[in-house]
Chains A and B, each alone.
Chain A
Amino acid sequence: MSNIAIKPPSQSGIVNWMKENLFSNKLNTVISIICIYLVVKFLAGVVDWGILNAVFAADASACKAASDGACWGVISEKYRFIIFGTYPADEQWRPLLAMVWFVGLIICSLLRSFWKLWLLPLWIASLIGLGILMWGGVLGLSYVENTQWGGLPLTLMLAVVGTVAAFPLGILLALGRRSELPLIRVWCVAFIELVRGVPLISVLFMASVMFPLFLPEGVTIDKLLRAQIGIILFTSAYLAEVFRGGLQAVPKGQYEAAAAMGLTYWQTMRVVVMPQALRIVIPPTVNSFISMFKDTSLVLIIGLFDLLATAKVAITDPVWRAFYIEVYIFVAAIYFVFCYSMASYANNLETELRKGEQH
């Protein structure tokens, strides 16, 4: 051969890309054109309805007049109630500040350069601070009962506290299920299977209605706390099974090497096995967290007003009742932002961890 190619022949540029991928043959071209037409048509409809013909002012009669456009006025009218629920209007800066603080803390905790020992005391201090902010009653803040909490702060709290508490519990359950001690194993299997075997709604319902019946007279546990515990237990059972999958994927040789060098059971788990097992199960773990984040909306059943519940209450207002679609889109967008952030973070973490080892 006269010319030896050192690099594979490459064709760059958007025209070449389109030729190769969209219009490579007749059938492909037809399919591409149909798809492009549908996408354009759909987007045009969305823009028409959502922006061009939409009413942004909080004016119900204007909204009714503009029949082929969205009425975002309902959001500007109701957003405070949807986000903060029945928290007293003058005090709503408190849950706002709490949320910003909380989300900031979570973002810090997710950055690997912040994975230091002081993160734990910071979390404890923050949780106390957030409690003071939300309840008040000290430092000149008026007392707000937690039955008045609602909306996004409630959803975030249930989800994040649920995540943080269910994670270690799930690890312990997974280890317990693989334990050589029969009693521990039986307990863990029983717990996992029982909790997985019933719907979250019934767990919440039991936590709220049946659980107090078993308590001695005069002892009451806060409804919010009961719901939170219900969510933690439910999530931990699912996570336990996810983690068990990870534990099984770590080769037996790793356990043997650790045992042969004299590491104890807990050292082996902490340093050798868990770091590998958890890395393997990042995708299903995040899947569980996303699912749990959305499942918090079921607390409506026991009378807690999370983000979705406040949205539903907002559209019971007869003036704005017709515009429920806009309200649901708004709430869906909030859920999406959080869930998509979790998914992207997990993807990043995975690539990051793989990069170091170059398998």
Chain B
Amino acid sequence: MSSNGQTSADDILIHVNDLNKWYGEFHVLKDINLHVKKGEKIIICGPSGSGKSTLIRCMNRLEKYQAGEVLIDGILLDDNVKNLEAVRKEVAMVFQHFNLFPHMTILDNLTLAPRLVNKMPKKDAEEMAMSYLERVKIPQQANKFPGQLSGGQQQRVAIARALCSNPRVMLFDEPTSALDPEMIKEVLDVMVELAEEGTTMICVTHEMGFAKQVADRVIFMDEGRIIEENTPHEFFDNPQNERTQLFLSQILGH
């Protein structure tokens, strides 16, 4: 299935090897090693400023890194534009603030990448977009503008938009953090469904219920390092590291 021989053997889709990144003098990511198998669901959590968003943003090169390497499906993410183009076709991202294009209808938002990047004919792209809108349960909003939708609806549109480029990996950067509490569930429901369908997902979130439900692995980061990495069962019931225990008591305590 995989396009490149060297990674298909062990079915690992994402390699992060000794990744280091600095913002000026500030060392944001320190010696990160992470390997994600095809179909795996990874939840990344940790206190704010721990580098978790920066880590997933390195996986589609919204952020550059200074040392180490990130390979997606065998493609090295470096300054090579060809590689970048190839990776961005395979990796889709859902943002905290949705980042829908406010001047375009929902349908145009969804068909943009298929038409411009994958050169799909308009009619096919619209059919596909409608099928994804049905999957996130808002096909009736297709001709509205983002500003006319609620936050939860906008985030579901953003998920559908990400799916429209047929990605092999979905990155979620705190997808529910900007939502009102009553809208979080509708977005998480869609994400659970995606997880059950076998999509490879890497999700930065503090929704621990969601993590327990779908994660294959939970990763805890602090101060730019991966502190702990375990199955959700072990992670929540038997955290090894002191900082993990503190974080969990704070986040689950209230």
B247 at the interface (CB under 8 A from A): no
A357 at the interface (CB under 8 A from B): yes
Please determine whether A261 and B92 come into contact, CB atoms closer than 8 angstroms. Answer: yes
List, in ascending order, chain A residues with CB within 8 A of B97's CB.
Answer: 253
Binary contact track A257-282/B, C-beta < 8 Å → 1, others 0: 11111110001000110011001000
Please determine whether A260 and B93 come into contact, CB atoms closer than 8 angstroms. Answer: yes
List, in ascending order, chain A residues with CB within 8 A of B117's CB.
Answer: 261-263
Q: A256-B62, A358-B147 are in contact. Are A262 and B95 (CB under 8 A)?
A: no
A41 at the interface (CB under 8 A from B): no
What residue of chain B has the Cβ atom nearest to residue A267's Cβ? B116
Please determine whether A272 and B62 come into contact, CB atoms closer than 8 angstroms. Answer: no
Please determine whether B60 and A260 come into contact, CB atoms closer than 8 angstroms. Answer: yes
List, in ascending order, chain B residues with CB within 8 A of A258's CB.
Answer: 101
Residues of A contacting B: mostly: helix
Please determine whether A259 and B102 come into contact, CB atoms closer than 8 angstroms. Answer: no
- Give, as a whole number of angstroms, the nearest-CB distance from A359 to chain B: 5
Please determine whether A262 and B85 come into contact, CB atoms closer than 8 angstroms. Answer: yes
B88 at the interface (CB under 8 A from A): yes
Please determine whether A261 and B113 come into contact, CB atoms closer than 8 angstroms. Answer: yes
A356 at the interface (CB under 8 A from B): yes
CA distance A257 to B60 in the complex (A): 11
- Give, as a whole number of angstroms, the nearest-CB distance from B173 to chain A: 10
Q: A253-B99, A279-B103 are in contact. Are A271 and B62 (CB under 8 A)?
A: no
Please determine whether A261 and B102 come into contact, CB atoms closer than 8 angstroms. Answer: no
Please determine whether B147 and A253 come into contact, CB atoms closer than 8 angstroms. Answer: no
Q: A263-B117, A271-B116, A357-B148 are in contact. Are A276 and B95 (CB under 8 A)?
A: no
Please determine whether A276 and B85 come into contact, CB atoms closer than 8 angstroms. Answer: no
What residue of chain A has the Cβ atom nearest to residue B102's Cβ? A357
Q: A267-B116, A357-B145 are in contact. Are A259 and B88 (CB under 8 A)?
A: yes
CA distance A259 to B165 in the complex (A): 13
CA distance A266 to B149 in the complex (A): 29
List, in ascending order, chain A residues with CB within 8 A of B95's CB.
Answer: 253, 256-257
Please determine whether B103 and A262 come into contact, CB atoms closer than 8 angstroms. Answer: no
* Highest count of chain B CB atoms <10 Å: which of A253, A254, A261, A276: A261
List, in ascending order, chain A residues with CB within 8 A of B102's CB.
Answer: 276, 357, 359
B21 at the interface (CB under 8 A from A): no
Please determine whether A257 and B101 come into contact, CB atoms closer than 8 angstroms. Answer: yes
B41 at the interface (CB under 8 A from A): no
B129 at the interface (CB under 8 A from A): no
- Interface of chain A residues 333 through 359 with chain B (CB within 8 A): 356-359
Please determine whether B147 and A262 come into contact, CB atoms closer than 8 angstroms. Answer: no
Binary contact track B75-94/A, C-beta < 8 Å → 1, others 0: 00000000001001101110
- Give, as a whole number of angstroms, the nearest-CB distance from B186 to chain A: 21
Q: A271-B116, A357-B145 are in contact. Are A261 and B103 (CB under 8 A)?
A: no
What residue of chain A has the Cβ atom nearest to residue B147's Cβ? A359
List, in ascending order, chain A residues with CB within 8 A of B101's CB.
Answer: 254, 257-258, 272, 276
CA distance A68 to B49 in the complex (A): 79
Q: Given contacts A257-B100, A358-B147, could you give 12 more A-B pairs where the C-beta distance is less than 8 Å?
A: A253-B95, A259-B62, A259-B88, A260-B62, A260-B88, A261-B162, A263-B117, A271-B116, A272-B101, A357-B102, A357-B147, A359-B147
**Taking beta carbons and an 8 Å cutoff, which residues of B are in contact with A?**
60, 62, 85, 88-89, 91-93, 95, 97, 99-103, 112-113, 116-117, 145, 147-148, 161-162, 165
User: Can you identify 24 A-B contacts, CB atoms within 8 angstroms?
Assistant: A251-B99, A253-B99, A257-B100, A260-B60, A260-B62, A260-B88, A260-B91, A260-B92, A260-B93, A261-B88, A261-B161, A261-B162, A262-B88, A262-B117, A263-B113, A271-B116, A357-B102, A357-B103, A357-B147, A357-B148, A358-B145, A358-B147, A358-B148, A359-B147
Considering the complex of A and B, which 4 residue pairs feature the smallest CB-CB distances, nearest first?
A: A257-B99, A262-B88, A253-B99, A261-B113
